Structure 1
Amino acid sequence: MPDLMTAYANAYRRFRWCLPATFNFGRDVVDAHAQRQPDKLALLWCDDSGAERRYTFGEMRTLSNRFANLLAGAGVRRGDRVIVMLPRIPQWQVAMVGCLKLGAVPIPCIEMLTAKDVGYRIGHAGATAVVAHRDSVGKFDGIPGIGTRIAVGGAPGWLDFDEALAACDADFACADMAPDEPAILYYTSGSTGNPKGVLHAARALYSWRVAASDWQGLREDDLMWCTADTGWSKAGTSILFGPWSAGTAVLFYNGPFDPATRLELMARHGVTVFCGAATEFRHLVNARFADYDLGRLRLAVSAGEAVNPEVVRRWREGTGVELREGYGQTETLMTVVNPPGAPVRPGAMGLPLPGSTLAILDEQGRPLPPGTSGQLALRLPNPQVMLGYWNDPDLTASTRVQHEGAEYLLTGDLAHADADGYLYYDGRSDDIISSAGYRIGPMEVENALIEHPAVLECAVVGSPDAERGEIVKAFVTLRPGFEPGDALVRALQDHVKQVTAPYKYPRAIAFVEALPKTASGKLMRRLLREREYAALAPDASPRQPA
């Protein structure tokens, strides 16, 4: 890697992973900060009603201790899986850290999941406990195997979160977690079948701090705001694990997206580092920046989908602040970033994060030269990488490839590198749809559509969209007796919203006589997707990090 970016090149060359013998995020980060600076701000929470509450690290230590005791008293043990499905409220941090202190494995989930979605996760993971808001408890009715139910706001048959917490002891002896001990389980869409359970170890919770230091440059005097949903791994790394590892306070806002509100909150609270989805930035750059005092803001970052270079330019001109992208996956978290001190190149995802060695491989697992597109792969071992897919060793093994004594994790993304090591995203090697930062498996939507009596066959692909990067588009063949039309489009969309998480619904539906298939009858989604992109100009090919 050339020395034209001296600070980055030196940091990358000198970096060495140095993992502790044991690591418990609750004890070694939250409690450690509380011991050193009990009155240091950890969390500034507010919502769209105007409510606001501040929490210090000392308070978070006590509350998470109480929650760990609550779980233990209810029979939850080390290694047990716990569904945590909460909105952006402080009880989310309390529950997450409390689970980690006990050594239980939290499964963060977005609230948009349906009863079918949560039922699958509970059954697949063997979860025995659930923490949810009272507005969502109905989704868990009739689901077997849940021995402990805790509701924020209380609900019949559920423990009341705050009342139960108040009755618990404020001291707790945290579990000594070995580096490879399971610590957190995320679910992410796959190109086929149901969502995959991505299991991460305690070492990952420790190692994710590198992105906070070498991408976001977080400091103890920062206030960071990441707008990710609590069910996504990005929330873990940029709302919880990354900032608190750096001693950085976080802003946590529970309310709908509105550009003016975003900017007003940044100005009012003095946010210094802002992390949002590309879709948000596309709206934010249309605001009147002069109406807001963003003097404390020093950096903006984005991950999950590509930010158009024009948006990056307009954001920089409007705020005077850089917008630096990053790339990662649920399986690895951040591995490619635009680090401080290195120039941003239009269209590039960035450079390898210190501690991560990336390669572009051909179909035989051989490294490709600069300028040649191939599969993006991460060299192993790397502590950021998942332990594997939950209860699926064959699928886990399929992501590994060996070449000349080196082992790599295949990301499923296509990319190429330039002569200076900058990486450029070239699309997916499978059918995953990336829409406004959400990863959507086509079969999940197809399975929902096929349950509707009007649908004979269907295929779902990503279709290019200026605002969301891609949208879900469904191609549908109808059963006899049904006629295409706007009313049926709305009915199918509403049906999908009821069957699976609403963000997965097809925003576009095309009725067709037949679907493209191979000679053996296999659906050719890629052909449909290529037709969608063929309508674009040559320079508008898909480029959205997973």
Structure 2
Amino acid sequence: MRRPQADTFDALRAAFRWEIPATFNFATDVVDAWAREPARPALLWSNAAGEERRYTFAEIASLSSRLANVLRSAGVRQGDRVVVMLPRLPAWQIAMVACLRLGAVPIPSIEMLTADDIAYRVEASQAVAAVTTAANTGKFAGLPGVVVRVAVGGSEGWIDFDSAIAAASDSCPAATVGAEDPAMLFFTSGSTGKPKGVLHAARALFAWRNAMWFWPDLTERDVMWCTADTGWAKAGTSVLIGPWSCGAAVVFHDGPFDARRRFELIQRYRVSVFCAPNTELRRLVLEDVSAFDLSSLRASLSGGESVNPEIVTRWEAMTGCRLLEAYGQTEGLMLVTNHALLPPRAASMGKPYPGLDAAVVSVDRTRLLGSDEVGVLAIRQPQPMHMLGYWRDPQRTAADRVTIDGVDWHLTGDLVTMDADGYIFYQGRDDDIIGSAGYRIGPAEVENALMQHDAIAECAAVASPDDARGEVVKAFIVLKPGVAPSDALASEIQEHAKRVTAPYKYPRRIEFVADLPKTPTGKTRRRELRDLEYRRAGKM
């Protein structure tokens, strides 16, 4: 597939044609291909302690081949699911590429997951293997189905990552992976029930280079730094698959958020493309950057949540480069972009990528809407960047599809308008998903955790507007008879939620109420509570 050249974004769209290969293995077709240039840099890693490592594509090819041999010898086969739960360590890239080399299906997972979170993912996916750190091995206790266990730092009963790689051969025959074969599995929050598995095919991994071609216009001359967590789908496109498909080197920093450190690393590694969410940018624009050389930056990116206009203005003034926002979701990764060739339009997410057709569908799912009408953003199917479907859940997959005038569309769940020129404007969600600092949080996950507290009779988790995070989780709680509300109890409930589920889901705001609004059939009206929060904040 060739990258088209044009003078305008619309001309790029007109010139683009999909050329999906019959087979695609990211390890061989991308990593090994770039490894033919022995000195080509792939990974620039550092941590908060000041340690640093640099890897070429040739080194990543060798190390991932060694780990692939370790996994294969231990019993991992093509199609097997492997939980990869690692922080921002080079082991993450090595493990992900090793799985793909074998044709195994990695499940990227954030470290904040609890034992219960992991147990659900393992059971749902029937994962047979896990790669994690020594500190996290205890979370896999009692999961007999995970028969292959590899730990960075070693742990009793686990294969030691480094020593096993050192002893293994770097000659590893790679799997032949068909374009429609499963290649990567993410878990993402839904508006009801447990997280849903989003299964992507090998052709999606091939197609994700589009996100880098038609967003920052990435090339092999670039150094890209995306600060996304390793369990996010965003890391798949903007840390691993996308940049390396273009031959770009990536910066990978393991450490807590430190605004000044961000600018130090941009200067040190001559980062040319920097990607961060609105939550980070809000803090970065408060820094005095006069002492830093930021001349290497040519593009800045943000996705996952809208960036406030004043933040955009301040960031562009302090860095001298345009901030390009984009919209995406786990099911299709990045879908709508503000490309450098696309004239900006205030508050717009941009236009659909080349090779992708989008429309606005009426909320009742019966028709396509015209300019400036509010409806659900829909992506025409089939679409190479899009998921195979929800993991072993054809009913849920079908529920998000609609056929109008003989054309199939996937409904994203996001309400938008599209103007006469094709620019798309976000209007909100048509379900109860909470978007906080780039995380998607399902209300049922929060409510299930809260209901394990002895003091709670009923609860509802909804989005509450927040200037820093976009939205935060708010819990409306009905206490059991005889239990008195108090600030101390609210704090206790918050700490309980952090222990039971991943900490990013805990309710930052709690309100004790006498009862919850219900439908005639007894279902909680979350939308009514969410609207109440937005009215209180003057957002409606």
| TM-score bucket of the superposed structures, by smaller chain | over 0.9
**Structure 1 residue 6: Cα displacement:** 5.2
Is the partner of 2:488 in helix, strand or coil?
A: helix
| CA distance in 2 between partners of 1:325 and 1:291 (Å) | 27
The residue number in structure 1 matching 2:530 is 529
Give, as a single letter, the amino acid of the residue that structure 2 aligns with 1:286. Answer: L
| CA distance in 2 between partners of 1:174 and 1:352 (Å) | 34
Q: Cα deviation per residue 1:316-344 (whole Å; 9 max; x = unaligned)?
A: 11111111100000000011000111122
The residue number in structure 1 matching 2:324 is 324
Matched, 1:186 2:186: yes
The residue number in structure 2 matching 1:13 is 14
| CA distance in 1 between partners of 2:181 and 2:495 (Å) | 42
- What does residue range 126-525 of structure 1 map to in structure 2 within 5 Å? 126-362=126-362, 363-525=364-526
Q: Could you tell which deviates more after superposition, 259-268 or 507-516?
A: 259-268
**Structure 1 residue 79: Cα displacement:** 0.3
Q: Cα deviation per residue 1:54-77 (whole Å; 9 max; x = unaligned)?
A: 000110110011111111100000
Taking structure 2 as the reference length, what is the TM-score of the superposition?
0.98
| CA distance in 2 between partners of 1:518 and 1:220 (Å) | 56
Give, as a single letter, the amino acid of the residue that structure 2 aligns with 1:499. Answer: V
Give, as a single letter, the amino acid of the residue that structure 2 aligns with 1:504. Answer: K
Give, as a single letter, the amino acid of the residue that structure 2 aligns with 1:382. Answer: Q
| CA distance in 2 between partners of 1:293 and 1:337 (Å) | 28
| CA distance in 1 between partners of 2:143 and 2:450 (Å) | 23
Q: Cα deviation per residue 1:219-277 (whole Å; 9 max; x = unaligned)?
A: 11111000000000100100100000000000000000011111111112111100001
Is the partner of 1:402 in helix, strand or coil?
A: strand
Give, as a single letter, the amino acid of the residue that structure 1 aligns with 2:155. Answer: A
Give, as a single letter, the amino acid of the residue that structure 2 aligns with 1:231. Answer: G
Give, as a single letter, the amino acid of the residue that structure 2 aligns with 1:64. Answer: S
| CA distance in 1 between partners of 2:344 and 2:25 (Å) | 36
Give, as a single letter, the amino acid of the residue that structure 2 aligns with 1:89. Answer: L
Q: Cα deviation per residue 1:338-375 (whole Å; 9 max; x = unaligned)?
A: 01111222211111111110000012331101110001
Is the partner of 2:490 in helix, strand or coil?
A: helix
| CA distance in 2 between partners of 1:115 and 1:365 (Å) | 43
| CA distance in 2 between partners of 1:443 and 1:342 (Å) | 39
The residue number in structure 2 matching 1:544 is none
Give, as a single letter, the amino acid of the residue that structure 2 aligns with 1:250. Answer: V
The residue number in structure 2 matching 1:26 is 27
| CA distance in 2 between partners of 1:46 and 1:372 (Å) | 48
The residue number in structure 1 matching 2:3 is none
| CA distance in 1 between partners of 2:76 and 2:341 (Å) | 46
| CA distance in 1 between partners of 2:7 and 2:172 (Å) | 46
- What does residue range 105-116 of structure 1 map to in structure 2 within 5 Å? 105-116=105-116
Is the partner of 1:289 in helix, strand or coil?
A: coil
Q: Cα deviation per residue 1:404-445 (whole Å; 9 max; x = unaligned)?
A: 110000101110011111100111111000000000000000
Q: Cα deviation per residue 1:10-29 (whole Å; 9 max; x = unaligned)?
A: 00111111111110000000
Q: Cα deviation per residue 1:145-199 (whole Å; 9 max; x = unaligned)?
A: 1110000000011000010111111111111111000000000000000000000
Is the partner of 2:324 in helix, strand or coil?
A: strand
Is the partner of 1:291 in helix, strand or coil?
A: coil
Taking structure 1 as the reference length, what is the TM-score of the superposition?
0.97
| CA distance in 2 between partners of 1:510 and 1:292 (Å) | 45
| CA distance in 1 between partners of 2:290 and 2:366 (Å) | 51
**Structure 1 residue 216: Cα displacement:** 1.3
CA-atom RMSD in angstroms: 0.9
Q: Cα deviation per residue 1:26-50 (whole Å; 9 max; x = unaligned)?
A: 0000000012x12100000000000
Q: Which runs of 5+ in 2 are unaligned?
A: 1-5
Give, as a single letter, the amino acid of the residue that structure 2 aligns with 1:396. Answer: T
**Structure 1 residue 291: Cα displacement:** 2.2
Is the partner of 2:216 in helix, strand or coil?
A: coil
Give, as a single letter, the amino acid of the residue that structure 1 aligns with 2:355. Answer: G
How many correspondences in the alignment?
534
